[in-house]
Structures are given as C-alpha cells and as structure tokens.
C-alpha cells in the first residue's frame, strides 16, 4: 500500500525504530529520531501558520536537515519547493516568488554560496515569504533550525496538528520542482504523494533494495534523482541515507569506503571521473552492490568498468521531472550491451508509445517522440495551464520531447532531444548518435555535440571533447576519426578540446551554452572550420 510521504517515514520508524536512517560524518540518526525531528519541524511550521497547500522552499546542500525538511513539509500538507544550490539571487527570487512560498528552510552558507546574503537581497521583493529557518546562525529576520525544533516540542499534545496530519490525500500536490528553464522561464512541475512514493518504490524494487542497503546520495537532493530515487527510495525499504554535500570523485569514493555504501546513483560523467581516480588510487569498493546511472548516454565500456572496478551492477533509468521521474529502467537480467544501448523497459503501471509530429503512433522500430502514460504523470505545471495542455493531452499522455525508438521486446532507445536536433543543409542530425561514436575513440574521456550556425548549411556540428587523463588530442583527429565512418553531415566541423563541459546544477550538459561557446570562439577567431585530412589530400 502506498502512503503519503509523511506517513511513509512514520511506518518505517515503527518497523525499524533503532535502525540507521541517516549517517553524516560522525552523526548517526535512527528512524525513530528522524521521525521525531520531522514531527517537531512540521509542528513548528504549523505554529508559524503554514497551511495545507502552502509552498515551502528547501534551499541548501545535501545535509541531514534537508532530509528532515523533505518529510516535515508534506506531513502537514504543505508543498516542497526544492531549490538548487547554484541559484543566483534573481533565480531564487523567481522560484520563491512564482511558487508563492510562505517559508524557506535554508543553510547559513555552503562553501562560497551565501544563502542568507542572497535572501537578504531579495526578501523585500517576496511579500508571501514570512518565515526563514536557517541551519547555522540565523539573521534577525529568521530562526535557527535548532530553535525551530525546540518550537516544535509538544507536537503530540495538539489535536489540531493531529487533525491536519490526517487530512491529507495521496493525490494532493506535495512537490513543485522547477525545470531548468533552458528555453525560457522555469516551469514548476506539480507532483503528488502518490507520484513520488510509488515511483520511488518501483525503482527500489528494481534495485532489489532492502533495509540492509546504504544509499550514498551524491546527486543533489534538489533534483528528483536525489530526493525521489535517493531519499524516498531508501526510506521505502528502511535503508540508510548518506548525504554527500559536494561531489568530487575523491569525496565520493572516500565516502563509499568509510560508510560501506551499497547503492550509489549518478550521471555517467560522475562515474567516468570516479573510474579515472581509481586508475591511480585504490579505495575499498567491496561493500558496493548497485545504483542508477541516468541523465545521459552511457558507453558500454563504462558499464563494464563500473562493474569490474567499483563492484557495481549498475542499472540505467530514463525519465524526467514531469514523470516523477522514472519511465523506463533496465534490470539485473539485462546484458551490459543492453544497459548501454537502451534505457530498458517501462516500470510497472506505466506505458509508452512513439509518435510522429502529428502525435500519431509510428510502427515498432521507427523513430519519433516518446510519450508516456500512467500513475507517474505530473498533475501539470503550476500556474501554467497553457504549458500543461501542450505537454499532456486529454487522454493523459505526457509528451517528453525526447526522440526514441522501441523494439519488439519493449526496450526503449533514446536518440536525442527534439529541440537539440541539428539541421545540416536540410539533413536531420542527432547529437547523441555522434557523441556515442566519438566516445569509441580511445583518446576520448567524454564529449558533447551541439549545433553551430553556418552561412552555407544553416548549421554544422560542433564537438567539445575531454581527453583521457595524460593524453593530448589534436582537434583534426576527431574529424578524421569520424570522416568516412558516419554520414558527412554528422562529421564535426568545429572541435574544441576542453577540461570540462558546461554542466547544469542537475548534471546535464547545457547544449545551448555549448553553442554559445562555439559562436564566441568563432567570432574571436580562436577556432576555424576543419576539413578532414582525406579531403585536403584529394584537393592537392
């Protein structure tokens, strides 16, 4: 049976009161202790006047207090609005303002990120924002997290508080996550208790998770990958959560060793960087079991290396915020090749179809836009009925914007994003296909491909390449590697060698930023269009 988010934790606290729930350095919090902290914070919010349906921001790094907030806010029927740590004041103002948040739970600071400084800049522009709870030293206009917990003492003696907790429905919106906004202002995807708890349970079941597992959560809690597939999936089984505030490959590997982690999620780039470190320094990976890799294509050699070097039988998942987030997932029975080449099959209770530009279903094996329908589809975009109607049709199909194929066995292959398609002289080119080919070059660690404006062809392909450690690459090597092996329109005409790719705070390559980088370098005369060596020699 599926519970509300608050009741899910309560159930596990009753089942496993003394079992480890959260481990953070030397801090260890049992399920009983976590549940009590959640009630105290929830009651403090209740006493502050937070009503059912009110929005509350969560703006801090991966720390135990984020976990407490994640369960406390829904426990009184309020709505979590997670915020990325990389937000600047204008972005935080938009999210808190558009969501009409009445409170925010934040940290004093995180490294160079001064949350309180930014809030002090924007709070006068946020008339709905009445309360600020701060992990650390609170300003005059806020209250410390510790004082909020003290304020929440006596929660078990207030009948009105108990009534509020019981007046909740699985179909209530409990989570508004704003999409990255690469094509305009971010949109707030509204997810329900049922969306989140069921999706977390389905993924935990696929991972064969148990109360013995320990999830090292290195992906941000502010994204579904962290709060649904990390926190909520772990609690669904009574597993332990190990928050990692800052990802570096060394931080992660050290945390796995010290905490005997068994489950780790991440985007492929995270695992690639961890594998690079393991080439030169050994960490004890014997506790590791599995995890989810998602967010970008994963080369088969990475799947195999993660298994051999990290002791992980990693699974691949595909989805998006609007789908709570998982739509498809591979299984332990799938081969390494299937895990690399596909994103698996649909999870229980979800179905997919591939459609053409008119949203008519195409035959098996043909490419089109992937649409899904099931319990996991969001309620819609907050205050954006127009955008909701564009994304979800009257029959409940959610159109993802991702181009894909599906085979006769139900395995889905993602080709790329509709909006990232490059049109080279009228020829449709999909970045993912080119990226997967370039990754086969033994000098390449990672690559991202984007469209570059071209007077003659409209657009051409640009590739940003990260070399393997200790290896040098001449840009023409990439062009020559591709020429004659893939269609001419797909061969990169501009190549830059970089140390890192432009990544969003949620771990995805920002293709629009990549295009801007190419345009800037062309305008400054720092790069020129490349001609394959074979073509040059022919002209001679």
Query: What is the rounded distance in angstroms from the CA atom of residue 14 to the CA atom of residue 509?
Result: 42
In a domain, 287, yes or no: no
- Would you call 470 helix, strand, or coil by DSSP? coil
Whether 447 and 478 share a structural domain: yes
Question: Are residue 308 and residue 379 in the same domain, yes or no?
Answer: yes
Residue 167 and residue 63 share a domain: yes
Work out the pLDDT band at 505, boundaries 50, 70, 90: low
Contact between 530 and 495 under an 8 Å Cβ cutoff? The reply is: yes
Does the residue 72 lie in any domain?
Answer: yes
Distance CA 495, CA 95 (A): 36
The tens digit of pLDDT for each residue in 399-414 reads 999 999 999 999 999 8
Single residue among 192, 210, 227 that ends a domain in this structure? 192
Q: Domain for residue 462, yes or no?
A: yes
Which of the four pLDDT bands, split at 50, 70 and 90, describes residue 433? confident
Are 465 and 503 members of one domain? yes
Shared domain check, 510 and 463: yes
Average pLDDT over residues 233-246: 98
Q: Is position 262 within any domain? A: no
**CATH number of domain containing 351:** 2.30.38.10
Residue 100 falls in which region: left (phi positive, over 0), alpha (psi -120 to 50) or beta: left
Dump the DSSP string for 111-148: TTB-HHHHHHHHGGG-TT--EEEEESS--TTSEEHHHH
Reported as a single tens digit per residue, the pLDDT across 66-121 is: 999 999 999 999 999 999 998 889 889 999 999 999 999 999 999 999 999 999 99
Rounded to 10°, the helix 64-75/31-47 angle is: 60
Nearest Cα residue to 20 out of 3, 34, 38: 34
pLDDT mean over 362-375: 96
Q: What is the DSSP letter of 360?
A: P
Whether the per-residue pLDDT at 184 is higher than 90: the answer is no
Enter the pTM of the model. Answer: 0.85
Residue 531 sits in a domain whose CATH number is: 3.30.300.30
Task: Say whether pLDDT at 182 is over 60.
Answer: no
Cα dihedral sign, 105-110-116-121: negative
Compute the Cα dihedral for 248, 253, 257, 259 and give only its sign: positive
Structural domain boundaries, residue 151: 5-17+27-192
514 and 440, same domain (yes or no): yes
More confident residue, 206 or 270: 206
Residue 204 within any structural domain of the chain: no
Residue 266 covered by a domain = no
146: in domain: yes
Residue corresponding to tokens 């919090």: 29
Position 167 confidence tier, pLDDT thresholds 50, 70, 90? very high
Same domain, 401 and 448: no
Please state the domain count of the chain: 3
Same domain? For 321 and 455 the reply is no
Give, in order, the Cα–Cα distances in Å from 280 to each of 165, 335, 514. Answer: 52, 28, 31
473-505 b/e (C-beta count within 10 Å ≥ 16 → b)? bebebbbbbbbeebeebbbbbbbbeeeebbebe
- Residue 530 Cα to chain centre, angstroms: 35
Last-in-domain residue among 393, 418, 443: 418
Instruction: Tell me the C-alpha distance between 243 and 238, whole Å.
Output: 16
pLDDT digits (tens, 9 = 90+) for 307-337: 999 999 999 999 999 999 999 999 999 999 9
Of 418, 453, 476, which residue is a domain's last? 418
Locate 524 and state its tokens: 């400054």
Which position has the token pair 């020429």? 483
Statement to judge: residues 118 and 156 lie in one domain: yes
State the CATH number of the domain containing residue 171: 3.40.50.12780
Residue 342 near residue 411, CB atoms below 8 Å:
yes
Q: What is the mean pLDDT of the chain?
A: 94
Same domain? For 34 and 155 the reply is: yes
pLDDT of amino acid 416:
80
Same domain, 80 and 171: yes
Q: How many residues does the chain have?
A: 540
Residue at 524 is within a domain:
yes
- Asked if residue 312 and residue 407 are part of one domain, the reply reads yes
Beta-bridge partner residues of 279: none
Helix axes 5-15, 64-75, angle to 10 degrees: 120
Note the pLDDT of residue 267: 84
């Amino acid at each position: 049976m599926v519970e509300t988010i608050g009741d899910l934790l309560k159930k596990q606290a009753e089942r496993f009161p003394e079992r480890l729930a959260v481990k953070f350095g030397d801090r260890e919090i049992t399920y009983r202790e976590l549940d009590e902290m959640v009630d105290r914070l929830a009651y403090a919010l209740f006493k502050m006047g937070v009503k059912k349906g009110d929005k509350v921001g969560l703006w801090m790094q991966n720390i135990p207090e984020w976990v407490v907030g994640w369960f406390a806010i829904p426990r009184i029927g309020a709505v979590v609005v997670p915020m990325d740590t990389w937000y600047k004041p204008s972005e935080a103002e938009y999210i808190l303002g558009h969501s009409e948040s009445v409170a925010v739970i934040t940290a004093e600071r995180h490294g160079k990120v001064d949350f309180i400084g930014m809030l002090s800049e924007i709070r006068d522009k946020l008339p709905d924002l009445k309360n600020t709870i701060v992990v650390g030293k609170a300003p005059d206009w806020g209250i410390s997290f510790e004082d909020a917990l003290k304020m929440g003492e006596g929660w078990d003696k207030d009948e009105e508080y108990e009534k509020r907790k019981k007046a909740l429905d699985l179909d209530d919106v409990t989570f508004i996550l704003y999409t990255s906004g690469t094509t305009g202002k971010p949109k707030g995807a509204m997810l329900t208790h049922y969306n989140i708890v069921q999706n977390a349970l389905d993924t935990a079941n696929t991972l064969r998770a148990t109360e013995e597992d320990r999830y090292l959560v290195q992906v941000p809690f502010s994204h579904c990958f962290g709060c649904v597939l990390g926190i909520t999936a772990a609690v669904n089984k009574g597993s332990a959560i190990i928050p990692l505030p800052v990802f570096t490959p060394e931080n992660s590997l050290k945390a796995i060793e010290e905490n005997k982690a068994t489950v780790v999620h991440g985007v492929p780039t995270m695992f690639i960087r961890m594998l690079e470190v393991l080439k030169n320094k050994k960490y004890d990976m014997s506790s590791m079991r599995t995890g989810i890799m998602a967010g970008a294509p994963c080369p088969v050699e990475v799947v195999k290396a993660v298994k051999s070097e990290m002791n992980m039988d990693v699974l691949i998942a595909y989805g998006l915020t609007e789908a709570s987030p998982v739509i498809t997932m591979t299984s332990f029975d799938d081969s390494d090749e299937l895990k690399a080449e596909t994103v698996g099959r649909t999870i229980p209770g979800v179905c997919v179809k591939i459609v053409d530009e008119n949203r008519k279903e195409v035959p098996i094996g043909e490419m089109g836009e992937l649409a899904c329908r099931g319990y996991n589809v969001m309620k819609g975009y907050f205050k954006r009925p127009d955008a909701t109607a564009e994304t979800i049709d009257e029959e409940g199909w959610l159109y993802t914007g991702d181009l894909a194929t599906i085979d006769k066995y139900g395995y889905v292959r993602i080709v790329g994003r509709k909006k990232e398609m490059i049109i080279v002289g009228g020829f449709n080119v999909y970045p993912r296909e080119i990226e997967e080919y370039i990754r086969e070059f033994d000098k390449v660690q990672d690559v991202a491909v984007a469209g570059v404006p071209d007077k003659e062809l409209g657009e051409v392909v640009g590739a940003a390449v990260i070399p393997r450690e200790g290896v040098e690459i001449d840009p023409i090597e990439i062009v020559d590697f591709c020429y004659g092996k893939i269609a001419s329109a797909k061969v990169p005409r501009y190549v830059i060698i970089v140390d890192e790719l432009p990544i969003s705070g949620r771990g995805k390559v920002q293709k629009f930023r990549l295009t801007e980088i190419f345009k800037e370098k062309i305008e400054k005369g720092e790069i020129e269009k490349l001609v394959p060596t074979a073509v040059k020699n022919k002209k001679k």
